[in-house]
Structure 1
Amino acid sequence: MDSMLSQGVGSESGERSSNVQVSTSDAHKVDGKNPSEVIHWHNRGVAARALHLSRGVEKPSGRVTYIVVLEGLCRFNIEELNTRGPYCTAKISPLEMTKSEMEQVEQDPDFVTLSRQFKAIAMELISILEQKQKTGGRIKVLLETLPFHKLADIFVASFEISFEEQLCMLDSVDPKVRLSKATELVDRHLQSIRVAEKITQKVEGQLSKSQKEYLLRQQMRAIKEELGDNDDDEDDLASLERKLQKIILIVTTMV
């Protein structure tokens, strides 16, 4: 199978934009090229079909930009690379399993266990996103309908992970390996959210405590001025309680 290639993992602009997703890493022999001019291609990529092309203009620079919306079809392996002509082309071999092969994998007890673990941790992440951003409904639908090995790709694609980790996921053709790595990455993302929440709550708690202490001091100062008592030696809480009782007594007497 011949395919036109596009260098790089792809850029994000609303939707993933590029032609065929092929990441650079491993070298392939290219005819008629000086070694210094050879582009290093990763030996695997993702075949994709272009669904939509839109043109835009950046402001204020006026630079014209294009966004290509793609539908991923399958992982592939580069068998032979050809850079002659205006575009790089290659002979590729698809790496995705057939339907019958995937059905056998889905019956594997290890895969079933991994699927349950992935779903549990993914649901936990979605619940947090729903609380924070009021999103996640569509993802829940996907979680109930799409195969787990495909969900693994969708989840990981939305995370800020290193280039090496992206290649690692790309190379994970075995659904069990892919699901295991995705579960690890989702868990790591979830842990980072928990740590961030804990820090935020701690900071908010400290601010709240400081604000309460400030208000308490202001209340005590006002009470002292009202009662003409400027003695700072008495315990603050005991003094506040005693003076509040006096004010309540005065108000009750007036009524």
Structure 2
Amino acid sequence: MIKQQIPVLPLRDIVVFPHMVAPLFVGRQPSVKALNNVMTKDKKILLITQKNSEVDSPKPENLYKCGTLAKVLQLLKLPDGTIKVLVEGFERVRILSIEDSGDFLRASYSILSVKEKNTANIMALAKIIKDQFESYQKINKKISIDLVNNIKTYNDFNKLADVVIANLNINLPQKQKLLETKSLESRLDKIYGYLVSEIDALQVEKKIKGRVKRQMEKTQKEYYLNEQMKAIQKELGDSEDIDDITEIESKLKEVKLSPEALDKCKSELKKLKNMSPMSAEATVIRNYLDWVLSIP
């Protein structure tokens, strides 16, 4: 069914879905006028995402062909003339035509209705998406446990799709594509794929961060122990040995050694730093390093 024209609010860098509440900051004059217009009526407005967020004065051709019918929940005018508005999406729509009324854009639309039976495939996809979203929440603390518990109760699988998509960390074109996809089964299938990819990416990221943290802790520990060793050697009157090690380090930077030889020397020097200068092994290592550095 074709609906009459209503004001359009072009969006930058965000796709709003049904059942999603989003705060928006509005500063462009046509958008401000569109909001002022709907506030005097039923507060319904069409949210349509721009294809290119850098376009400051979007024309009909700069907007996607599907959007979301939303209601303004709250509007606050800020001192600098911009508006902070809270909107809630409630219906996916296909845009039929967009016209410039002079003050702001208006569009006619039809509801993007989905009349699919809950087939075995849809039921199965919905179940695994609920399970995967719970796993996703465990490694992405930005997702609240309350949202996970709410999703578990959803029997409306279109609502399930909209809410999960809104909370996925995927790019804007991917979200827009899911907004436009009419088939419920296709939407659920794509959502499941994105969920699996997101979980894999977050797990890899967690492993990398853990490895880097352990390496940093190891480096800090070695530095602390080396400083302690230097302090102990100084107290014992072994400052000459410290000077010897410093001299060897300086020479290693100056001589031209093969990568393998340089790595070996650094490894031996590291051992030397942690040894008592009076030990037999320390003498052997020092003699070895002196010999390597004396080679022309």
Task: Tell me the TM-score normalised to structure 2 length.
Answer: 0.60
Match of 1:252 in 2: none
Q: CA offset at residue 209 of structure 1?
A: 1.0
Q: Does 1:64 pair with 2:81? A: yes
Q: How many angstroms apart in 1 are the aligned matches of 2:124 and 2:106?
A: 40
CA, structure 1 residues 115+201, in 2 after alignment: closer, same or farther (shift >3 Å)? Answer: same
Q: CA offset at residue 205 of structure 1?
A: 1.3
2:108 to 87, 91, 105: 91
For 1:20, give the aligned amino acid.
Answer: L
Match of 1:28 in 2: none
Q: How many angstroms apart in 2 are the aligned matches of 1:236 and 1:38?
A: 72
Which structure 2 residues correspond to residues 1-255 of structure 1 after superposition, within 5 A?
A: 1-9=3-11, 15-17=22-24, 19-24=45-50, 39-40=60-61, 41-57=63-79, 63-84=80-101, 86-97=103-114, 101=115, 104-105=117-118, 108-130=119-141, 136-146=144-154, 147-224=156-233
CA, structure 1 residues 46+236, in 2 after alignment: closer, same or farther (shift >3 Å)? Answer: same
CA, structure 1 residues 23+229, in 2 after alignment: closer, same or farther (shift >3 Å)? Answer: closer
Q: How many angstroms apart in 2 are the aligned matches of 1:2 and 1:10?
A: 25
Is the Cα–Cα contact under 8 Å of residues 10 and 16 in structure 1 kept in the other structure? no
Q: How many angstroms apart in 2 are the aligned matches of 1:200 and 1:113?
A: 35
Q: CA offset at residue 123 of structure 1?
A: 1.0
CA, structure 1 residues 238+218, in 2 after alignment: closer, same or farther (shift >3 Å)? Answer: closer
Q: CA offset at residue 208 of structure 1?
A: 0.9
Q: How many angstroms apart in 2 are the aligned matches of 1:50 and 1:6?
A: 12
Secondary structure in structure 2 of the residue aligned to 1:49? strand
Secondary structure in structure 1 of the residue aligned to 2:90? strand
Q: Unaligned 5+ residue runs, structure 2?
A: 15-20, 27-44, 52-57, 246-267, 280-296
The Cα offsets for residues 108-127 of structure 1, whole Å up to 9 and x where unpaired, read as: 11112212221222111211
Secondary structure in structure 1 of the residue aligned to 2:85? strand
For 2:148, give the aligned amino acid.
Answer: K
Structure with higher RCO (Cα < 8 A, 6+ apart): 2
Sequence identity (%): 23
Q: How many residues align?
A: 216
CA, structure 1 residues 3+210, in 2 after alignment: closer, same or farther (shift >3 Å)? Answer: same
Is the Cα–Cα contact under 8 Å of residues 133 and 148 in structure 2 kept in the other structure? no
Tell me how large the CA RMSD over aligned residues is: 3.5
Is the Cα–Cα contact under 8 Å of residues 68 and 90 in structure 2 kept in the other structure? yes
The Cα offsets for residues 137-180 of structure 1, whole Å up to 9 and x where unpaired, read as: 22123222334432332333344543322321111122211122
CA, structure 1 residues 156+9, in 2 after alignment: closer, same or farther (shift >3 Å)? Answer: farther
Q: How many angstroms apart in 1 are the aligned matches of 2:235 and 2:98?
A: 88
Q: CA offset at residue 87 of structure 1?
A: 3.9
Match of 1:31 in 2: none
Q: How many angstroms apart in 2 are the aligned matches of 1:78 and 1:182?
A: 24
Q: CA offset at residue 39 of structure 1?
A: 2.5
Q: How many angstroms apart in 2 are the aligned matches of 1:129 and 1:152?
A: 19
For 2:130, give the aligned amino acid.
Answer: K
CA, structure 1 residues 238+160, in 2 after alignment: closer, same or farther (shift >3 Å)? Answer: closer
Q: How many angstroms apart in 2 are the aligned matches of 1:51 and 1:162?
A: 26
For 2:147, give the aligned amino acid.
Answer: I
Q: CA offset at residue 191 of structure 1?
A: 3.0
CA, structure 1 residues 216+77, in 2 after alignment: closer, same or farther (shift >3 Å)? Answer: same
For 1:67, give the aligned amino acid.
Answer: K
Q: How many angstroms apart in 1 are the aligned matches of 2:197 and 2:102?
A: 44
Q: How many angstroms apart in 2 are the aligned matches of 1:2 and 1:123?
A: 41
